[in-house]
Amino acid sequence: MTNNYTPIDKIPVIHASLRATFRSGLTKPLAWRRHQLLQLARFIKDNQDHLAAAIHADLGKPLQEIVMIEIALSFERTLICAREIEEWCKDENITNQVQDWQKGWNPRIVRQAKGVVLIIVPWNYPMILSLQPLYGAITAGCCALLKLSEFAPHYASFLADNLPKYLDNDAFRIALGGVPEITKILEYKWDHIFYTGNGRVARRIAVAAAKHLTPLTLELGGKSPVIVDATADIYLAAKRILAGKTPNCGQICVSPDYVLVERAVAAKFVDVCVEVLKEFYPDGALNSSSYGRIVTKEHCERLKDLLERTKGRIVAGGRMKLEEKAIEPTVIADVGLEDSLMEGEIFGPFLPVVAVDSVDDAIDYINDREHALVVYLFTADENTKTKVLENTTSGHICINDTCTQLSIHQMPFGGIGESGYGRQGLRYSYENFVYERVVCEIPYAEELFLAHRYPPYTAESVTFFMQAMKMSVPDSENPAAARNKASCSALG
């Protein structure tokens, strides 16, 4: 592992070099882009053991988590991009959608690369969250600077030392460093910035981007709630919620943050959570090779302080080995809606359980807070599914499981409001880095249809353009008024 941060005086040189490369047209041919994508896939395949070792050294993740979420997913999706690039990048001819007198203009939408983009990568899932936007930028025909997290130094150093052996270094560069380096990088104009992380840092990035009117994709997190109603399969609900809470010690943006469970089944749910954790970790999570670690000592101390405020409400877990950055999965019962655990994103292995009187109360609580990245719901009642879907706002909603929605290749990933904006994943990653350019070719022979626009304006030319106003407006009725009318009739 190297500890060499990118020299700050080299950052403007890198930026200028990437701009020159993009202007040269190197990245435009689809054949070149496809080759870069296949080179990225070769990098993953050739170095899978080294990548797993680097990620484990940084985060203490079990091998299966690394393979399942980082390596295999990155590899598969990179190959899909290489397969689909021609289809995604096709011009969209809209001749059949325009008015008859416009059909001869060859109207079409061309998706073109935005230019030189900046990708800022977090530490918690450094591989998938660096390579997913990168394959999008490659597919789009952009040049990219990849700023890797200083909190995953083994992975960052391995990528910096080895990825350039596979990709074109004129088009794709890596920057290492901390606050001074990213601060300098953000001084420059980028054609798109893709950031994955937290809202506090995202605000600073948004301010820097605003100086250049740079578009952003912000993939953030927040407190993703879980609703469990009385009709749910309580055992499977507990098992699937903890299956989403325990990977990477809960340090996942889509990790279930807290559970709002109907009071009638709250005690049973807590008891089952205790049983499930024993099934997951018979010898205790801290002794299990299937359980990871907290990324930094500072984060451990934060989580320790948070746990100390639970005042004896821990029903499972709670043990720590701070010297190993290890904290057990911890279920905390009898949590109030105004408890300190409910204030900010936990981003750790704690699961507060809040008893509520009804699903309606759960919905009200969720709606009183910032929009979540995901709302999870466990129920067997179709009306409850509809109610939660129609009366909450979130980037995703997943019913009767947690986190598995991320495995669907065709679905976009992203938040809304405080949980971020923009989408990623395969074609959605590509679409971040292109813009829709409208192309029309107006033949000289079309002058007959255009002659009325020229001065001097006449009554005849005004009449010509007023023809559109001859269209009638269809009848309609306000549904709310109709419901009120029906209610009044029913009351007599």
Pairing mode of beta strands 434-439, 320-321: unpaired
What is the number of other CB atoms lying within 10 angstroms of the CB of residue 134?
A: 26
With tokens 């976009």, the residue in question is 412
Is 253 annotated as catalytic? yes
Distance CA 377, CA 399 (A): 5
Phi-psi region of 317 (alpha: psi -120 to 50; beta: other; left: phi over 0): left
Task: Spell out the residues 6+ positions from residue 238 whose beta carbon is closer than 8 angstroms to its own.
Answer: 269, 272, 273, 275, 276
The dihedral through the CA atoms of 353, 355, 360, 365 has a sign that is negative
Q: At what angle do helices 128-140 and 72-88 cross, to 10 degrees?
A: 20
Tokens of 222: 């927040």
∠ Cα 48 49 54 (to 5°): 100
Pick the catalytic residue from 81, 89, 253, 300. 253
Residue indicated by tokens 């609580």: 365
Catalytic residue among 65, 70, 181, 219: 219
84 is catalytic: no
Specify the long-range contacts of residues 386-392, CB closer than 8 Å, at least 24 apart: 387/359, 387/360, 387/363, 388/227, 388/359, 388/363, 391/363, 391/367, 392/363, 392/366, 392/367
DSSP 354-408: EEES-HHHHHHHHHTSPPEEEEEEE-S-HHHHHHHHHH--EEEEEESSSSGGGG-
The residues annotated as belonging to the active site are: 219, 253
